[in-house]
Amino acid sequence: MGKNTSIYLDYNATTPTDPRVLDYMLPYYKDKFGNAASFHHKFGQEAKKAVEDSRKILASELNGKIREIVFTSGATESINLAIKGLCGKIGRKKNHIITQTTEHKAVLDTCNAMKNKGWEVTMLPVDPEGFVNPDDVLASLKNETILVAIMHANNEIGTVQPITDIGHICREHGIYFLVDAAQSFGKLSIDVQKMNIDLLAASAHKIYGPKGIGILYVNQKNPRISLQLQIDGGSHERGFRSGTLPVPLIAGFGEAVRIAEEDRDVENEHLLHLRDKLIDEIKAAHPDVELNGSRKKRLTNNVNICFPGVDAETLIMKMKSVACSTGSACSSANLEPSHVLKAIGQRNEMAHSAIRFSLGRFTTEDEIDRAIEIINKTVTAIKKTSPRHKLLSV
Ligand SMILES: *Cc1c(COP(=O)(O)O)cnc(C)c1O
């Protein structure tokens, strides 16, 4: 890439579709365009095979069973199906849900929707690095608790939650455990059996697959989970989710996961090196910056930094060639500081100075070197002119 091209550092928002994935998808738009439910002819059978090949890869990635994978339009839909579907099925006799403050809006808003219908929702706090304490989960269990929903990796600050410990507690007490794995699926290894996960949401577009396809993993053995249908129709996906399957997207999702699995170790090592270089070089130039989240138990591609006295919006506007975001992509449009940064105890002023840089498969060392130079220069320039910063530094 040339000197003037933009540097994409927003991989936690979405990723480009890997060219290998796109190549794999194309035949399913052209010659192999059949409906996977048309079992009488070759077109349908080819489509069905592509769907089942993909389902097998996804199941194996999670150490789940093939029949436990339900295709949806993305993690948001999967989370809605999991929470509303489970509560709808079980009913009001078990009307207590436990979740935590730094979840994605897909979980928070769905829990709120249940709250409006009369369910009780416990919001667990997190520590200053964004971790949920498993003891808090244990302490908040009640006879009425139906579900614990805790994300695997946070989309804003990259914190990786103690999922195994929480899963163990849930299983011991016979409570369903939902994990939003949109940021970790394909990047970290996940074993639904070892981790005692009953429901898990993931999405293709965060791991170099196409947009508009996701899965919900639904445990079918000890316990076997049934969900109330959220979309009525032809009872596709074993009755969990109706609608004609988007075969090219499903094929692409499988291929994306196959590649992610194959390249995982090399890719994580590459990302870790670039991520740490970015953090260290910004810190070296501006020792007052604060890294949000944990340095150790963190996604290898996530950097989230507060630049005290610097307005993040201004910084982003001035760094036109670095594509990054303030807080999460979803809250970029509103002026409320990020709920995640608030939850880890950052004051409003600090939260408004936070920027997320997220790296990915196609990020090069040269891009990181250029980004470091641009970021450091721009921060210096803003500090020189900002009356807010002058006030802070006297
Ligand atoms: C992106 C994301 C989602 C939403 O996924 P979609 O597939 O875009 O609906 C949910 N949770 C987390 C943590 C995410 O990063």
- Nearest C-alpha to atom 9 of ligand 1 is from which residue? 76
Cα–Cα dist 293/65, whole Å? 34
Does 76 sit in the ligand 1 pocket, CB within 6 Å?
yes
Q: Tell me, using a 6 A CB cutoff, whether residue 48 lines ligand 1.
A: no
Both tokens assigned to 26: 């194309």
Dihedral sign for Cα 283, 273, 8, 325, please.
Answer: negative
Q: Ligand 1: does its nearest atom lie under 6 Å from the Cβ of 219?
A: no
The domain made up of 19-258 has a fold known as: Aspartate Aminotransferase; domain 2 (3.40.640)
- Say if strands 120-124 and 176-180 run parallel, antiparallel, or are unpaired: unpaired
β-bridge mates for residue 322, sequence order: 7
Q: Which CATH architecture has domain 7-15+264-393?
A: Alpha-Beta Complex (3.90)
CA separation for the pair 252, 17 (Å, rounded): 9
What's the 391 CA to ligand 1 centre distance in angstroms? 39
Say if residues 12 and 302 touch (Cβ distance below 8 Å).
Answer: yes
> Is 155 close to ligand 1, i.e. is its CB under 6 Å away?
yes
In short, whether 15's Cβ falls inside 6 Å of ligand 1 is no
Q: Please, are residues 78 and 216 in contact by the beta-carbon 8 Å criterion?
A: yes
pLDDT at 391: 54
Atom of ligand 1 nearest to the CA of 328: 15
Q: pLDDT value at position 101?
A: 98
Q: Is 182 near ligand 1, meaning CB less than 6 Å away?
A: yes
> Looking at 92-245, which runs of residues are DSSP E strands?
96-100, 120-124, 145-149, 176-180, 199-203, 214-218
How many A from CA of 230 to the centre of ligand 1? 19
Cα(177)–Cα(169) distance, integer angstroms: 10
**C-beta separation of 324 from 316 below 8 A:** yes
Determine whether the shortest distance from the Cβ of 75 to ligand 1 is under 6 A.
yes
Please give the number of the atom of ligand 1 that sits closest to the Cα of 181.
13
pLDDT at 133: 98
Q: Is 203 in the pocket of ligand 1 (CB under 6 A)?
A: yes
- Residue 236 has what pLDDT? 86
Centre of ligand 1 to C-alpha 187, Å, is: 14
Spell 124-143 as b/e; 16+ CB within 10 A means b. Answer: bebeebbbbbbebbeeebee
C-beta of residue 349 within 8 angstroms of C-beta of residue 389: no
Helix axis angle, 105-116 to 75-90, nearest 10°:
30
Give the model's pLDDT for residue 394: 44
Tokens of 337: 């500081």
| Minimum-distance ligand 1 atom for the alpha carbon of 153 | 13
Ligand 1 atom at minimum distance from 103 CA: 13
Q: Name the residue ranges covered by the structural domains of the chain.
A: 7-15+264-393, 19-258
Element (H, E) at 335: none
What per-residue confidence (pLDDT) applies to 85? Answer: 98
Does ligand 1 lie within 6 Å of residue 157's CB atom? Answer: no
Amino acid at 203: S
Q: Which of 170, 306, 324, 330 is catalytic?
A: 330
CA angle at residue 154 from 263 to 207, to 5 degrees?
Answer: 30
330 a catalytic residue: yes
Ligand 1: centre distance to CA 383 (Å): 34
Q: Please list, in sequence order, all residues whose beta carbon lies within 8 angstroms of the beta carbon of residue 145, skipping any fewer than 6 positions away.
A: 94, 96, 97, 98, 173, 175
Tens place of pLDDT per residue across the chain (394 aa): 455 689 999 999 999 999 999 999 999 999 999 999 999 999 999 999 999 999 999 999 999 999 999 999 999 999 999 999 999 999 999 999 999 999 999 999 999 999 999 999 999 999 999 999 999 999 999 999 999 999 999 999 999 999 999 999 999 999 999 999 999 999 999 999 999 999 999 999 999 999 999 999 999 999 999 999 999 887 889 989 999 999 999 999 999 999 999 999 999 999 999 999 999 999 999 999 999 999 999 999 999 999 999 999 999 999 999 999 986 544 555 568 899 999 999 999 999 999 999 999 999 999 999 999 999 999 999 999 876 555 555 4
Element (H, E) at 374: helix 365-385
**151 in ligand 1 pocket by Cβ < 6 Å?**
yes
Nearest one of 170, 178, 190, 189 to 151, comparing CA atoms: 178
Cβ-proximal residues to 55 (8 Å cutoff; 6+ apart), any chain: 66, 69, 71, 250, 254
Check residue 266 and give left, alpha or beta (phi > 0: left; psi -120 to 50: alpha): alpha
| Ligand 1 nearest-atom number relative to CA 206 | 1
Mutate to test the pocket of ligand 1, among 163, 180, 184 (most ligand atoms within 8 A of CB): 180
Task: State which ligand 1 atom lies nearest to the alpha carbon of 77.
Answer: 9
Centroid of ligand 1 to alpha carbon of 357 (angstroms) = 17
Nearest residue by C-alpha to atom 5 in ligand 1: 75
Q: From the CB of 325, is ligand 1 less than 6 Å away?
A: no
Buried b (16+ CB within 10 A) or exposed e, 315-350: bbeebeebbbbbbbbebeeeeebbbbbbbbebeeeb
Residue entry with tokens 């170099």 = 208
DSSP sequence for 268-291 = HHHHHHHHHHHHHHHHHH-TT-EE
The CA 275 to ligand 1 mean position distance, Å, reads 22
Beta-sheet strands, E only, within the chain: 7-8, 69-72, 96-100, 120-124, 145-149, 176-180, 199-203, 214-218, 290-291, 302-306, 322-323, 354-358
What residue owns the CA closest to ligand 1's atom 12? 182
Query: In degrees to the nearest 10, what's the CA dihedral of 111, 170, 93, 78?
Result: 40
CA-to-CA distance for 187 and 165, rounded, in angstroms?
20
